[in-house]
Structures are given as C-alpha cells and as structure tokens.
Chain A
Amino acid sequence: MATLEKVDVVIVGAGASGSLYASVLAKAGKKVVLIEAGPDWQMTDLISSDMWGRRVKPSGVPFLFEGKNPYGYAYQGGWGVGGAALHYFANFPRYLPTDFKVKSEHGKGLDWPINYADIAPFYDKVAAEIGVSGDAKSEEIWRPKGQAYPMPPMKTFRNGQVWLKGLEANGIRMVPAAVGMNSVDFKGRPACIYDGWCHVGCPIGALANPTITYLADARKAGAEVRALSTVTRILTDASGTKATGVEYYDAKKEKQVQEASVVILASWAAQNPRLLLNSATDKHPKGLANSSGLLGKYMMAHYASGTWAMFDEDVENHMGTVGAQFMSYERYDKNAKKAKGAFGSTYIVAGTALKTSDLGGFANARIDLFGPKLAEFMQRAKRGITRLTAFGEEMPNIENRIEQASEKDEFGMPLARFTHSFSDEAIALWNANFDEGIEIAKATGAKEFWSARGPMPTIHLFGGTIMGEAAGTSVTNSYGQTHDIANLWVAGPGLFPTEGASNPTYTIFAVSQRGAENLVSKWGSVAG
C-alpha cells in the first residue's frame, strides 16, 4: 500500500456533482483528484446503439435490493466519468418553492433548510455555464421570475404535438421543456440534430454531459481523474474530528491512500452512505457523519405513470430527443389528487424519440405480446406510437434505508442492503396519474391507448445523507458539509430531504454550485 502526496481535495466520483465541485475548486486554485470507480470514457465511446449503450452503465452492483418496491439500479446508474449524467435525458426542470417546505406546508415529509430563493441564483448560473434551452417566461405561470435561458426552446415533433389537444381538454397547460441541450450552437458545442440517442450518450456534445462541461473545465484547471479506482474507506485522524483522505484500490487493484485536506463524497446517493458506514472507527462506531443515526435513511425514488397512444398518422417517433419536448407543473400541487387518497406532486412531460429495444423501447410498450403478435405490433407501432409520462413524488420514509450486509465485495467491503417500499399515498398517486393519462389520451383522438402498467418503477434516487438545520436531525448542512466532520462533505441528490416530482439533475447542479462556492469561501476554516 502506498500513501500518495497530500492534495487539497479528493472527490469520490466523477459524475454530475463531483465534476461540478472539481471545476469550481480547481479553478479556485486547489489541487483536485477525482477517484472514479468506472472507466474514463471518451466521446468516441458513445456508440449509437441500445446494446452498446449498456457498456456505460453499471454491472454487478454491490447492493442487495429488498422491500416491496426494490430499487431498480443499473438502467439509470452511472459507471465511469460523467456518471449517470453521461447518458441522462437532460430534462432540466427546476424544483418549485413548495418542494423546499413540505413539512411546513403540509405537516408531513421534511423541510429543506433552505428556500427556493436560496437556490434560484444557482439555477441561473448553471444555465449560463453549461447551456439550457427553454422558455423561462412561460414557466413563470408556476414559479418565481428568473433569468431567461441562454438558448431558445428545442424543436418539437408530432410525437409531442399530438398530446397537446388532450392535455388542453383536461386543463393542463404545457410549455416548452427546459433541457440541458443545445437548440443552437453554444460555447463551441453544436446544436442538437434530434437523432434520439441521448440515452446512450451524445457524442457530438449537443447534450451537456459533465465530461464536456464541468469535468473538462476541471481538467483544464489541473484536476486529475483516476479511473477504474474504487474507494473503500474515508480515513480520519486519531481524534475523529478530521478526515485525512481516502483508501482506494487502483486500476491494478492495488491498495492506495490518497491524503487530502478536504474529502468530498459524490459517488451515488446509495454508495455514499455505504462508504460512510464502512468508515466506522472507535470515535464513530455507527459510521462517519452518523451521530444523528440518519445516515442511509430516507432513501426516495420517483415513479412514472406512462400512457401509450397509437395514431393513424406518422408521429415521427424516431425524431427528437429522449428528454421531453413539453412539460407541465399543472398537477404539482401536492394535494391535487387528494380525493383519490394520494399525496405528492406530479410533473408531466410529452414528446420523446423512441427506439425499438431496451427498457424504454417501443417493443416493451406491450410487454404481454410475443411471437407473431409482437411482430405485427412492431409494424403498426413503428410510425404511430407515442408516450406521455407523469412523474410522481414519494415522501421521505425512515424505513427506506441503506444498511451494511454481511456479504462482501472483491475488495472486502460489505455490500449494502437497500430496502425500499412505496407508501399507500404514492401508490394512490401512481394509479391516479394512470387514470388521468387515459383521460388525456381519449381526448387526443388516438385510435388506441393504454396504460404502461407493470411493477411500480423506481426512478432517480435521493436521500441517505439528508441536509438539515441541526446535527440531530440531518447528516449535513445545506451546503453538504457534514455536521460531524468539518472537512468531510457530501454532494448530489443524497442531500435532498424531499424529492419533488421533476427530474433532479438541474437541482443537483444548482445545489452543488452553491456548496462548492461556499467551500471555497470558507476554505481556511474547513481544510484539514
């Protein structure tokens, strides 16, 4: 085992939040090392194929998935630089003011220790930095005013447009979706050509994946990425008051210690608690940053109620992006479907390019069909099928959790048991959103329509290292600094005390930007 020369910052994970932290800190003159478990992908690795696209996703994950609704990991997980954002859909809706104060407003869930107004300037900053296309003005029917996006909305296609009549008939206003993609050339990156391969990685750079935005900036400023290297422990000093670095296994599977003045965990909402639990010492017997006992607790996922519709016309379903063309917060009121026993926000999107295979492909639109009936369906669907999606919110539940398991991985680190079940209120919202999807489809004039029902899906991931006001009720403060150890920070959606209903990455970037700037501003009092 070698102990490597001390650096200013070691960041565990080179995904969305890790890349942003690296960029801000490296540009502030800090020596930054990112340790990434997966490969150092290049843009030329992003092959336009659903099969080949699976290479950039995890394989053989170190979790045991349990509960009534076990978490579905790998489709949406990251592996390698860029993390999950290497192949994300780049939908960039923001959270609304109500998302930050669920407990205060409704007496359930949790409050964030900050308000929408604390995050809003960072939404604008991220948009200016990496590029967002959309129409901010049109969104302001639901949210406070802010800056205009730097690019106009993306093109729309019939696969999105055909839903508008049905949505309007049901009183649902749609506006151009905000996306982290280029509707026009932006900062040397080309405009999107609407080929619909976003979900396996966009190699032309029209989609703002972190490897061409924050991580590229960080590297230019001197940050170093160590790929295929797996962190197993965060190390602390004898007093237990200071993080001293991390222990990891490098690409040759040799054990190394990287000392650092600040340690930032940005690996994944479930992996961060796994690492902290595995870093227990006599001073921190329950794991690092766990004096509250809440480490690994309050894991949350989104779920989606999809509606398929088949039209006689060619809806150009091979065209567009895999993200949304239109979005709506019209059902975002957390009591919008209270009459059906539901609680939580709903975020609605329409318009997506479709491919044939993989989980999101239209061969799975009728999973019950096989043999000649499937072949016949594929012929009918190839031009006429399109999908509407309503995402739902679940409330934080302390029973949804990460714990250490007895089984160990190849490095001797315990696997984690990840237990997750949806509440009755979330299930009710999922069902209510299916019902509304059918009402919308009826009003479109589609010749056939049906709900995309199956096992209740788990989408995105939040919690496990939640932020809060006090050390007794949360793991970190609002910046991601752990309450227990000043130079140990956490980044990413694991910080979120509630999850809203809209896609999280824009908020992940905004929260990370706020945290990274705060770390730089108080560096002298934080660095160990």
Chain B
Amino acid sequence: MSDIARRALIKGAGLSALAFSVGGTQVLLSPRQAHAQNIPFRTLNAEQVETLEALGETLVPGAKQAGIANFVDQQLSVPHGEALLEARILNVRPPYANFYRAALGAVDKASQAKNGDKKFAQLTGDERYAFVDLMRQNKIDGWQGPPGPFIYLLLRSDSVDVVYGTMEGYAALGIPYMPHIAPEKRW
C-alpha cells in the first residue's frame, strides 16, 4: 500500500474543529475563523481578552489574527479532560481558567505599577516588548501572582500553537504537515 493510500485510509476519522456558540447553536470553527467572525467569548471578560491578545501578539506575531483569545477562551470552557492547552502538560491544576485569570491579572497589575497605570494592552509596541523581556527573566520587582517566566512559557506556547502548530501554520512556514489523521478545518 502506498504512503498516500495509507494516509487516505484513515483521513477524516478525527473530530478536530472546536465548537463555538453562534446565536445559540454550536458551530465548528477554527480559532482564526472564530476571531474573524467576532464569536462571543464564554469565559474571559473583555479586559482579559484584550490583554491576552496583546500579549499573544507580542510573543508570536500573528497570534491575534490566528485567534489566540478564541482558542484559549473556548478551551477554558470545556471539561479539563478534553482540553488541548499546553497548561495540561505543564502540570497546571484545573480549572485552567483560574490560572489564566490570575496570569492576565498579574501582567496588567505589574504593567500598571511599572508604566504609569497603563495596562499591558495600552503600552506601545516597544514598551510591550521591553515588559515581556523583563517578565520572562523574572526581573520585574514586586511581581504578584503566577511567576512571570511561567506565564511567558505558557502563553508563548499557546501563541505558537495557534500560529505555527496548525496545518495552516505549517503551510505558511513551508513545512510538509503529513498527517496520518488530519485535523478538520485545517486546525
């Protein structure tokens, strides 16, 4: 049997798009599509979304458009045993929403203390970059909440997931994805 035939044999066997609520019904979308369609958030509030998108975009260019906030928000709404987040394999204790809320709150609090009461999303691009560079090295005095280097690791991983970890991301980089069982919606 040829390699291509082997892949085709099991193609489509997996359920891989994420379920989002639109007008009271469930639809399967990729996070990029969910972002483009302004799908309402389930778990995070508007401030948390704003911070997450700004932080994700600072960590990995393209993360905002790739739906970083929709991805995380949707994943926080499912039972932790079904979650696809990197938090799962970094020993974060469920419910994962507790960690994300604490982490995003810590980032904003430190940003306000350091930058004249401006939350992270209100910083300029250079200010955001400088802040993250200090955060990853645990060099922000008076930090409160989950450790900055761990927030950096985890949210950088989430951002890498949505930008580089999808079939679309592989295609953009020019790397063959070669799935045995392809995720649906090219996710």
Chain A residues with a Cβ under 8 A of chain B: 43-52, 54-55, 57-61, 65, 72-75, 190, 193, 195-197, 202-204, 318, 355-359, 361, 363-364, 367-368, 370-372, 374-375, 378-379, 382
Tell me if A65 and B91 are in contact (CB < 8 A): yes
Our pick among A54, A193, A372 for the contact of B89 (Cβ within 8 Å) is A54
Instruction: Report A208 CB to chain B, min CB distance, Å.
Output: 16
CA distance A73 to B174 in the complex (A): 33
Q: Which A residue's beta carbon lies closest to that of B18? A: A51
- Which 8 A-B pairs have CB atoms at the shortest separation, nearest pair first? A357-B165, A48-B179, A44-B13, A47-B14, A356-B164, A195-B178, A60-B94, A75-B89
**Complex A-B: 19 CB contacts under 8 Å:** A49-B165, A49-B183, A51-B165, A51-B187, A52-B16, A54-B83, A58-B88, A72-B91, A74-B88, A75-B89, A190-B1, A193-B3, A195-B178, A195-B180, A196-B178, A318-B178, A367-B156, A370-B132, A382-B173
Q: Which A residue's beta carbon lies closest to that of B183? A: A49
Our pick among A46, A73, A375 for the contact of B181 (Cβ within 8 Å) is A46
Our pick among B132, B133, B175 for the contact of A356 (Cβ within 8 Å) is B175
Q: Does B90 contact A (CB under 8 A)?
A: yes
Instruction: Report B136 CB to chain A, min CB distance, Å.
Output: 7
Q: Which residues of B contact A65 (CB under 8 A)?
A: 91
Q: Which A residue's beta carbon lies closest to that of B129? A: A371
Our pick among A43, A190, A357 for the contact of B160 (Cβ within 8 Å) is A357
Tell me if B180 and A204 are in contact (CB < 8 A): yes
Q: Which of B13, B81, B86, B89 has the most CB of A within 10 A?
A: B89
Q: Which of A51, A65, A197 has the most CB of B within 10 A?
A: A51
Instruction: Report B56 CB to chain A, min CB distance, Å.
Output: 10
CA distance A375 to B181 in the complex (A): 28
Q: Which A residue's beta carbon lies closest to that of B179? A: A48
Q: Does B161 contact A (CB under 8 A)?
A: yes
Known: A44-B13, A370-B152. 19 other contacts (CB 8 A): A48-B183, A54-B83, A58-B88, A74-B88, A74-B89, A190-B1, A196-B178, A203-B181, A318-B175, A357-B164, A358-B165, A363-B164, A370-B156, A371-B59, A371-B129, A371-B132, A374-B59, A374-B61, A378-B173
Q: Which residues of A contact B132 (CB under 8 A)?
A: 370-371
Instruction: Report B120 CB to chain A, min CB distance, Å.
Output: 14
Tell me if B170 and A356 are in contact (CB < 8 A): yes
Q: Which residues of B contact A203 (CB under 8 A)?
A: 10, 13, 180-181
Q: Which residues of A contact B90 (CB under 8 A)?
A: 72, 74-75
Q: Which residues of A contact B183 (CB under 8 A)?
A: 47-49, 52
CA distance A371 to B165 in the complex (A): 16
Q: Which A residue's beta carbon lies closest to that of B58? A: A371
Instruction: Report A197 CB to chain B, min CB distance, Å.
Output: 6
CA distance A49 to B178 in the complex (A): 10
Q: Which residues of A contact B88 (CB under 8 A)?
A: 54, 57-59, 74
CA distance A356 to B93 in the complex (A): 25
Q: Which A residue's beta carbon lies closest to that of B181? A: A47
Tell me if B173 and A356 are in contact (CB < 8 A): yes
Q: Which residues of B contact A355 (CB under 8 A)?
A: 165
Q: Which residues of A contact B129 (CB under 8 A)?
A: 371
Instruction: Report B66 CB to chain A, min CB distance, Å.
Output: 12
Tell me if B182 and A48 are in contact (CB < 8 A): yes
CA distance A367 to B6 in the complex (A): 36
CA distance A203 to B165 in the complex (A): 19
In B74-115, the 8 Å CB interface with A consists of 80-86, 88-91, 93-94
Q: Does B51 contact A (CB under 8 A)?
A: no
Q: Which residues of A contact B142 (CB under 8 A)?
A: none
Q: Which of A72, A190, A363, A370 has the most CB of B within 10 A?
A: A370
CA distance A193 to B169 in the complex (A): 22
Tell me if B6 and A59 are in contact (CB < 8 A): no
Q: Does B60 contact A (CB under 8 A)?
A: yes
Contacts A59-B80, A370-B132, A372-B61 given; indicate if A51 touches B161 (C-beta within 8 A).
Answer: yes
Q: Which residues of A contact B169 (CB under 8 A)?
A: 356
CA distance A51 to B84 in the complex (A): 5
Instruction: Report A320 CB to chain B, min CB distance, Å.
Output: 11
Tell me if A52 and B14 are in contact (CB < 8 A): yes
Q: Which residues of A contact B16 (CB under 8 A)?
A: 47, 49, 52
Q: Does B116 contact A (CB under 8 A)?
A: no
Q: Which residues of A contact B59 (CB under 8 A)?
A: 370-371, 374
CA distance A358 to B91 in the complex (A): 14
Contacts A54-B83, A55-B82, A356-B170 given; indicate if A49 touches B89 (C-beta within 8 A).
Answer: no
CA distance A196 to B175 in the complex (A): 12
Our pick among B84, B170, B176 for the contact of A55 (Cβ within 8 Å) is B84
Q: Which residues of A contact B7 (CB under 8 A)?
A: 193
Q: Which of A45, A359, A371, A372 has the most CB of B within 10 A?
A: A371
Q: Does B153 contact A (CB under 8 A)?
A: yes
Our pick among A47, A359, A372, A379 for the contact of B173 (Cβ within 8 Å) is A379
Tell me if B10 and A357 are in contact (CB < 8 A): no
Tell me if A190 and B6 are in contact (CB < 8 A): yes
CA distance A184 to B169 in the complex (A): 32
Q: Which B residue's beta carbon lies closest to that of A357? A: B165
Tell me if B160 and A356 are in contact (CB < 8 A): yes
Instruction: Report A49 CB to chain B, min CB distance, Å.
Output: 5
Tell me if A45 and B14 are in contact (CB < 8 A): yes
Tell me if A193 and B91 are in contact (CB < 8 A): no
Tell me if B14 and A44 are in contact (CB < 8 A): yes
Q: Which of B7, B85, B91 has the most CB of A within 10 A?
A: B91
CA distance A44 to B182 in the complex (A): 11
Q: Which B residue's beta carbon lies closest to that of A58? A: B88
Q: Which residues of B contact A361 (CB under 8 A)?
A: 160, 164-165
Q: Does B157 contact A (CB under 8 A)?
A: yes
Tell me if A359 and B164 are in contact (CB < 8 A): no
CA distance A43 to B6 in the complex (A): 14
CA distance A375 to B182 in the complex (A): 25
Contacts A356-B165, A370-B60 given; indicate if A204 touches B6 (C-beta within 8 A).
Answer: yes
CA distance A375 to B61 in the complex (A): 7
CA distance A296 to B10 in the complex (A): 43
